[in-house]
Amino acid sequence: MTLSLRDRQLSFLDVSFLASNLFDEKNPYYVFRQKVLPALEAQRDPLEAMYCATNGRPPIDPVLVAGVTLLQFMEKAPDRQAVERLRMNLGWKKALGLAVDDRGFHATTLVYFRQRLLEHQQGRVAFDALLQGLEQEGLIARRGKQRLDSTHILAQVAHMSRLEKTRETVRLFLEMLERTGRLGELPEGTVWRERYLDSDVLWHKLSKEVLAAKFQQTGQDMQTLLAWVENHEDLRAHEKTQLLQRVFGEQFEVTPTGPAVRKQEDSGTVQNPHDPEAQWAAKDQDKTKTWVGYKAQIAETVPEESGPKAPGEPTRAFLTEVTTTEAIISDLEGCERLEQQQEEHGLGRAATKYTDGAYVTAQTLAQAAAEGRELIGPAHPATNTRSQGFATDQFDISIAQRRAVCPAGQASTQCSRLENQETGRIEYRFEWGAQCDACPLHAQCTRAGNGRRAVVVGEHHDFLQARRRQMQTPAFQEQMHRRNAIEGTISEFTRNGGRRSRYRGLAKTALANYFQGAAINAKRWIRLLQYRLGAGSAASL
Neighbours of 494 (CB within 10 A): 15
Q: Is 368 exposed, middle or buried (0-12, 13-18, 19+ CB in 10 A)?
A: buried
For the chain, how big is the Rg over CA atoms in Å?
30
pLDDT at site 285: 67
Measured CA distances, 358 to 149, 329, 334 (Å): 9, 12, 11
List CB contacts of 400: < 8 A, sequence separation 6 or more.
462
Average pLDDT of span 277-294: 84
Going from the C-alpha of 331 to that of each of 33, 433, 517, the distances in angstroms are 38, 41, 19
Indicate the length of the chain as a whole number. 541
Mean pLDDT, residues 171-182: 92
Question: Could you tell me if residue 412 is left (phi over 0), alpha (psi between -120 and 50 degrees) or otherwise beta?
Answer: beta
Give per-residue pLDDT as tens, 322-377: 999 999 999 999 999 999 999 888 888 888 999 998 899 999 999 999 999 999 99
* Helical spans, DSSP H, in 137-193: 162-179, 189-192
Is residue 501 within 8 Å of residue 509, measured between CB atoms? yes
Please answer whether residues 180 and 232 qualify as being in contact, where contact means their C-beta atoms are separated by less than 8 angstroms.
no
Beta carbons of 353 and 146 less than 8 angstroms apart: yes
Q: Give the Cα-Cα-Cα angle 531, 534, 538 (nearest 5 degrees).
A: 65
SS (H, E, C) 196-250: HHCCCCCHHHCCHHHHHHHHHHHHHHHHHHHHHHCCCHHHHCCHHHHHHHHHHHH
Q: How far is CA 317 from the centre of its chain?
A: 20
Separation CA 322–CA 511 (nearest Å): 10
Topology, domain 141-157+281-379+471-517: Nucleotidyltransferase; domain 5 (3.30.420)
Element (H, E) at 293: strand 290-301
Cα 374 from Cα 481, distance rounded (Å):
16
Report whether pLDDT(38) > 80: yes
Residue type, 259: P
Q: Per residue in 45-63, pLDDT tens?
A: 999 888 877 776 767 889 9
Mean pLDDT for 239-249 is 95
- Distance, in Å, from the CA atom of 62 to the CA atom of 96, rounded to the nearest integer, reads 12
Amino acid occupying residue 454: A
- How far, in Å, are 251, 273, 275 from residue 264 at the CA level? 8, 18, 20
Taking the alpha carbons of 362, 368, 371, 372 in that order, is the dihedral positive or negative?
negative
Percent of the residues in the chain that have a pLDDT greater than 70, as a whole number: 92
Domain ranges in the chain are 15-122, 141-157+281-379+471-517, 162-261, 392-459
Task: Give burial (CB, 10 Å; 0-12/13-18/19+) of 207.
Answer: exposed
Residue 264 banded pLDDT, cuts 50, 70, 90: confident
CB atoms within 10 A of CB 129: 27
452 class by beta-carbon count within 10 Å (0-12 exposed, 13-18 middle, 19+ buried): middle
Distances (CA, A) of 153 to 185, 287, 328, 507: 41, 16, 12, 13
Q: Which residues contact 233 (CB under 8 A, 6 or more apart)?
A: none
Question: Considering only 64-78, 160-174, 409-423, which range has the smallest mean pLDDT?
Answer: 409-423
3-state class of 289 per DSSP? coil
Residues 115, 44, 321, 527, CA torsion sign? negative
**Rounded (to 5) percent helix, strand, coil in the chain:** 45, 15, 40
Share of the chain above pLDDT 90, in %: 53
Tens of pLDDT, residue by residue over 376-411, are: 999 888 766 555 678 888 889 888 899 999 888 888
Mean pLDDT for the stretch of residues 430-438: 86
**Max CA distance (Å), the chain:** 97
Q: Count each helix (H run) and each strand (E run) in the chain, helices first.
A: 21, 13
For residue 459, what pLDDT is reported? 87
- Predicted confidence at residue 2, as pLDDT, reads 45
**Model confidence over 190-238: pLDDT tens digits?**
788 888 888 777 777 888 999 999 999 999 999 999 999 998 888 999 9
- The continuous run of DSSP H or E covering 259 comes out as strand 258-261
Residue (of 397, 400, 408, 399) closest to 445 by Cα position: 408
pLDDT per residue as tens digits for the range 73-94: 999 999 999 999 999 999 999 8
DSSP states of 65-96? HHHHHHHHHHTT--HHHHHHHHHH-HHHHHHH
Instruction: Read off the pLDDT of residues 439-487 as tens digits, 9 standing for 90 and up.
Output: 888 888 887 777 788 888 888 899 999 999 999 999 999 889 989 999 9
Q: What span, in angstroms and rounded, lies between the C-alpha atoms of 123 and 117?
A: 5
